[in-house]
Amino acid sequence: MKEFVHLHLHTEYSLLDGMCRIGKVTQLAHKYGMKALAVTDHGTMAGVLKFYEESLRHGLKPIIGVEMYIAPESRFDQKYDSKKEAFFHITLLARNNQGYQNLLKLSTLSYIEGFYYKQRIDKEILAKYSEGLIALGGCLKGEASSYVLNGDMDKAAETVSLYQDIVGRDNFYLEVMDNKIPDQEKANRLLIELSGKTGAGLVATNDCHYLKKED
């Protein structure tokens, strides 16, 4: 049986959204026998230090990341009529110290330069600070997922190719999730097809916001 590691997880630092208290989620991951755990809060790295310390305390390898908001075109654009049009989601993970430094830079710039509804980056600065990063395609609000659900496989493939160029072909993955959401099940089938067309790897995530189902 292969081991599962959460690579898309939200803590209480995903304000008004994440319900996983860092101390409790690291403790529970250890209880379940997990060897590692990632943190990918929405648009912020505010909980990273606490997450790092608590992960080590519970014998876990901490994987530092963030689920960023990425503008469809330029981060300076403020032409969109709604929040839905103003950004996609993308999951970024640091694979080394350089990647961690670049996450800090991107996070800072998302507030200083890209804020419109949310703190946003764009492909331009992602390319500039891509060294040491692994990019995952995100949830249903990810760019590729949005396009495949709208029936535009060509645009989705073009998008995957762009991200492969930015972070490296071996450092971009499409996320598939088994969360029983009908749109997600449809997206999974199409993302698997997209993976075959583009050569992008697939990774199983769970967009974790809660410790337990009853939460």
pLDDT tens sequence across 126-138: 999 999 999 999 9
40: tokens are: 């990918």
> What pLDDT sits at residue 85?
92
Q: Which residues lie across from 20 on neighbouring strands?
A: 11
Those residues whose C-beta lies under 8 Å from the C-beta of residue 160, and which sit 6 or more positions away, are 137, 144, 172, 174, 194, 198, 200
187 CA to centre of own chain: 16
User: What is the H or E stretch that residue 161 is in?
Assistant: helix 153-167
pLDDT over threshold 50, residue 158? yes
Q: How would residue 69 be classed by pLDDT, with cut points 50, 70 and 90?
A: very high
- Overall average pLDDT of the 16-31 stretch: 95
- What are the distances in angstroms from CA 62 to CA 16, 26, 94, 144, 166? 23, 9, 10, 27, 25
* Residue 13: partners with Cβ closer than 8 Å, 6 or more residues away: 22, 41, 44, 46, 47
Query: What's residue 200's pLDDT?
Result: 98
The number of beta carbons lying within 10 Å of the beta carbon of residue 109 is 20
Distance CA 129, CA 123 (A): 10
Query: Taking all residues of the chain, what is their mean pLDDT, rounded to a whole number?
Result: 96
